[in-house]
C-alpha cells in the first residue's frame, strides 16, 4: 500500500474545504499561510495547489495568485460539452458491442445506481456515480479516466450554485435516459446534456 504524502493529505483537505463551500468562489489561498497552518514546506503546498489547479477546483493567475474557481456561463457550457463528447462516445462503443439491447452485466449496475439515486441523501454524488458507471461500461480506460476528472469540477459548480435536484424527478428522468441511450444512442446523450445545461444556466439567473 502506498503511503500518502504530505501533498496528498493537503490536496484531500483543501478539496474538502472547497467542495463544502468553506472556501468561497474567488477566495485566495496563500502558500505561506497554508504551510504554517499544516506544518508543511511551501514547496509541498505549491505542489498541492498545482494539483487542484489541474482539477480546475482552483485558478492560478499571474499577479493574483491562486484562488477558488468561479464559473462563468461559458465555463459551464464548455464543461457540459466535454461531458457530452466523452459520454456519447462511451455510448457509441457500448452499442457497437451490444446493439440496442444491453446485457445484464451492463444494465444491472446502472439500475442499482438509479436505486441509490432515489434513496440517498447525497443526490449530486449519486447522480455523478450513475453517469460514471455508464461511461465505464464502454470498457475504455482512457475515456473513463478523463470523465472521472470532471466530477469534482461539476460538483463544485453545483455546490456554488446551491442547486438542489429533486431526487424522484431525477430518477424518473434518468430511467428514461437509460432507455433512450440504448435505443437512440449518442444523440440521446447530447439531448440529455443540452437540457441539463439549459436548466443549470437558467438556475444561475
Is the distance from CB of 111 to CB of 155 less than 8 angstroms? no
Report residue 2's pLDDT band, with 50, 70 and 90 as the boundaries.
Answer: low
Percentage, residues of the chain above pLDDT 90: 75
Question: What does the alpha-carbon distance between residue 58 and residue 122 come to, in Å, rounded to a whole number?
Answer: 23
Q: Which residues, 6+ apart, have CB-to-CB distance to 143 below 8 Å?
A: 86, 89, 90, 93, 135
pLDDT tens digits, residue range 135-185? 999 999 999 999 999 988 998 998 888 777 788 888 999 999 999 999 999
Is the distance from CB of 181 to CB of 91 less than 8 angstroms? yes
CA atoms within 13 A on the CB side of 14: 32
59-63, 167-171, 194-198: which has the minimum mean pLDDT? 167-171
> What pLDDT is attached to residue 169?
87
> What pLDDT is attached to residue 1?
55
pLDDT tens digits, residue range 102-137? 999 999 999 999 988 888 767 888 889 999 999 999
Question: What does the alpha-carbon distance between residue 30 and residue 46 come to, in Å, rounded to a whole number?
Answer: 10
Is the distance from CB of 84 to CB of 190 less than 8 angstroms? yes
Domains, the chain, with CATH or none: 6-68 (1.10.10.10), 73-204 (1.20.120.530)
Question: What does the alpha-carbon distance between residue 106 and residue 136 come to, in Å, rounded to a whole number?
Answer: 10
Amino acid at each position: 500500500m502506498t503511503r500518502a504524502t504530505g501533498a496528498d493529505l493537503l490536496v484531500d483537505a483543501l478539496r474538502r474545504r472547497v467542495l463544502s463551500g468553506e472556501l468561497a468562489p474567488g477566495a485566495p489561498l496563500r502558500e505561506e499561510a497554508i504551510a504554517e497552518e499544516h506544518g508543511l514546506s511551501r514547496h509541498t503546498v505549491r505542489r498541492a495547489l498545482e494539483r487542484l489547479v489541474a482539477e480546475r477546483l482552483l485558478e492560478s493567475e499571474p499577479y493574483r495568485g491562486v484562488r477558488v474557481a468561479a464559473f462563468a456561463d461559458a465555463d459551464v457550457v464548455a464543461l457540459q460539452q466535454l461531458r457530452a463528447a466523452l459520454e456519447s462516445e462511451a455510448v457509441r462503443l457500448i452499442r457497437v458491442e451490444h446493439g440496442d439491447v444491453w446485457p445484464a452485466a451492463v444494465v444491472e449496475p446502472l439500475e442499482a445506481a438509479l436505486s441509490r439515486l432515489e434513496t440517498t441523501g447525497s443526490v449530486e454524488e449519486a447522480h455523478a456515480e450513475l453517469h460514471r458507471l455508464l461511461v465505464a461500461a464502454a470498457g475504455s480506460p482512457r475515456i473513463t479516466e478523463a470523465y472521472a476528472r470532471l466530477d469534482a469540477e461539476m460538483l463544485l459548480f453545483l455546490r456554488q450554485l446551491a442547486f438542489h435536484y429533486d431526487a424522484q424527478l431525477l430518477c424518473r428522468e434518468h430511467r428514461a435516459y437509460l432507455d433512450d441511450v440504448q435505443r437512440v444512442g449518442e444523440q440521446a446523450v447530447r439531448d440529455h446534456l443540452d437540457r441539463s445545461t439549459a436548466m443549470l444556466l437558467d438556475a444561475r439567473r
